Structure 1
Amino acid sequence: MAVFEGRVACRFAQPLPADSRGTFDRKAVSGNVWVGRLGLENSNSFANSGRFETSGGHKKDKGDRAVLLQCQGNLDAIQEAGLKLQAPLDLKPSCFGENIFVESSSFRAESICVGDEFQCWRQGQPQPLRFQVASPRCPCSKVDMRLGRTFSEQGVRFHCAQTGRAGCFLRVLEEGDLCDGDLLRLSKRPNPSWTVARVSGLLYGHDEAAKHYLQRSKLAVADFDTPTVRREEFMGTQEELEELAALPELATFEWKEHLVRMLGRHIGRYRKRRMSVAPVAVLGLAVLLGLFALSRRKSKQ
């Protein structure tokens, strides 16, 4: 089997307070940087901030979004997509707010699969650091604000939601350091048919899903019920839905939670709301009042 690998051209970190909303702006990192379970050392992100949980995520799932990887192959494909944009595209490393940019054109949404494991290599020697692809990146509105200024079906966000070209999130299986020039070499591929492009197309490929998922996801956080992607918008068969929902390597947040909900079950943001202290107290008081009224009626008899 041919070696599938990509060279790390640059790495980026966001040195902002953990609860800051921040921007896509990242600063290039020089020298070796430690990569832990929640990402690059001294780099804040949505996943390792409090905003992840207030947006419907669960603490145990933060590692699914430890590192965002973007690659030259995706940028080339976006440039060649013929999008009718209001502003010129300036596609370059860090434009998607990624942590790692791989310069290989062979790295792209159509060639990377969910569950792929990549070993870090340096000067011909394997390093401890290992990644696993957890999901495509589901782009937010900041993508259109920065790239193309087109907030419609012709925009970069809409295009990337359906194609998976906004990058992919990596879990950190083994911690270690990373520097420019390191190679990310594929070491394991458990799901060769589940490319990032295919997963994105099945879940967000329907125009209505791609158009409305941002608004619907906010409603889902509030009511624990609104479907971010409706069952009739899933672009595959029932068999594909069941297989993808059961894929162990697929991230829960923004991906598996929506698939599982289509099957009538609940995980992630769709978990049943716990009854708060106030409703419990009201219920208890109602029961006591009922018992008191019943006892008074009996005493009058």
Structure 2
Amino acid sequence: MKSRIDQIFTGRVKLMLPDGEPSGIFKSAVDGPQHLGTNGLEGDEQADLRYHGGPEKALHQYPAEHYALLAQEWPQCASLLGPGVLGENISTRGMTEHDVCIGDVFGMGEARIQLSQPRSPCWKIDRRLKVDGASRFVEAAGVTGWYYRVLDEGRLCAGDEIVLLERPNPWLTLVHYWDTVMAHRPDPVALRQIAAAAGLATDKAQRWLERAAWLEANAG
């Protein structure tokens, strides 16, 4: 698999109106080489580090082609919907949740990165777009984008190739991941298989193990 970085986005924490909640969802395109470290791109910030940022969510990639679907769903904010609006760091075309798997290792510019988890949308998407239920729609449609951990630091630049280097879990596309975990009553065996997948973020693995145990304990 090969793709390219179309644009790179970073941003500082700003206050969201109307209640002044701090957020790092506001990003702007940046030019030239950008250093990617284990905690993300230089100059990029997150407001609530309990749920955003850190080594397991160092870099967020979002497929630009998803914005057409979102504009169709919410024509009233179509002019706003475009790369960078949902707080992604990397905008691309030709890579979607159908094409990538948990644990995939990519070369991106000088860096080597691993897909650790899909994004779990939160209420800040609703606030950013001024659309109630936007985050629920993004999750239900499986158009969330995904996060990487950084295995080897390096510089990234718009136009750099994204090259698949390793695929330890070819069965676990993000589409399959979402279909499994979002089922009304997921199969505990399938949840345990996902939790054991190489490269999955530790907190997500623990979450699905706990969910599988609860389902087994409350079977029938």
Which TM bucket (shorter chain)? 0.7 to 0.9
The amino acid across from 1:96 in the alignment is L
> Are 2:62 and 2:145, in contact at CA under 8 Å, matched by a contact in 1?
yes
Deviation at 1:13?
1.1
**Farther off after superposition, 71-80 or 188-197:** 71-80
The answer for the alignment partner of 2:86 in structure 1 is 96
* SS at 1:87 equivalent: helix
Q: CA RMSD in A?
A: 2.5
Query: In the aligned structure 2, how far is the partner of 1:87 from the partner of 1:22?
Result: 23
> TM-score scaled to structure 1, two decimals?
0.62
Query: In the aligned structure 2, how far is the partner of 1:134 from the partner of 1:77?
Result: 25
Query: In the aligned structure 1, how far is the partner of 2:75 from the partner of 2:83?
Result: 21
For 1:231-246, what aligned pairs fall within 5 Å after superposition?
A: 233-235=184-186, 237-246=187-196
Pick the structure with more helix per residue.
1
The answer for the alignment partner of 2:9 in structure 1 is 12
Deviation at 1:164?
3.0
Higher relative contact order (CA 8 A, sep 6+): 2
Query: In the aligned structure 2, how far is the partner of 1:193 from the partner of 1:73?
Result: 24
- Residues 1:111 and 2:99 aligned together: yes
Kindly tell me: are residues 148 and 109 of structure 1, through their superposed partners in 2, closer, same or farther at Cα, counting changes over 3 Å? farther
- Residues 1:120 and 2:121 aligned together: no
- Residues 1:75 and 2:53 aligned together: no
* SS at 1:24 equivalent: coil
> Are 2:188 and 2:213, in contact at CA under 8 Å, matched by a contact in 1?
no
> TM-score scaled to structure 2, two decimals?
0.83
For 1:1-301, what aligned pairs fall within 5 Å after superposition?
A: 4-16=1-13, 21-46=22-47, 51-53=48-50, 62-79=54-71, 83=73, 85=74, 87-89=76-78, 90-102=80-92, 104=93, 106-121=94-109, 127=110, 129-147=111-129, 149-151=131-133, 156-203=134-181, 205-206=182-183, 233-235=184-186, 237-253=187-203, 255-264=204-213
Deviation at 1:77?
4.5
Query: In the aligned structure 2, how far is the partner of 1:16 from the partner of 1:88?
Result: 23
Deviation at 1:115?
0.8
Deviation at 1:10?
1.1
5+ residue gaps, structure 1: 122-126, 207-232, 266-301
Percent of aligned pairs with the same amino acid: 26
Deviation at 1:197?
1.8
Deviations 1:265-288 (A, max 9, x none): 9xxxxxxxxxxxxxxxxxxxxxxx
Query: In the aligned structure 1, how far is the partner of 2:117 from the partner of 2:69?
Result: 19
Query: In the aligned structure 2, how far is the partner of 1:23 from the partner of 1:62?
Result: 13
Query: In the aligned structure 1, how far is the partner of 2:77 from the partner of 2:29?
Result: 24
> Are 2:56 and 2:148, in contact at CA under 8 Å, matched by a contact in 1?
yes
Deviation at 1:190?
1.0
* SS at 2:54 equivalent: helix
5+ residue gaps, structure 2: 15-20, 215-220
Deviation at 1:163?
3.7
Runs of 4+ in 1 over 6 A off after TM superposition: none
Q: How many residues align?
A: 207
Deviation at 1:147?
3.1
Query: In the aligned structure 2, how far is the partner of 1:117 from the partner of 1:76?
Result: 28
* SS at 2:49 equivalent: helix
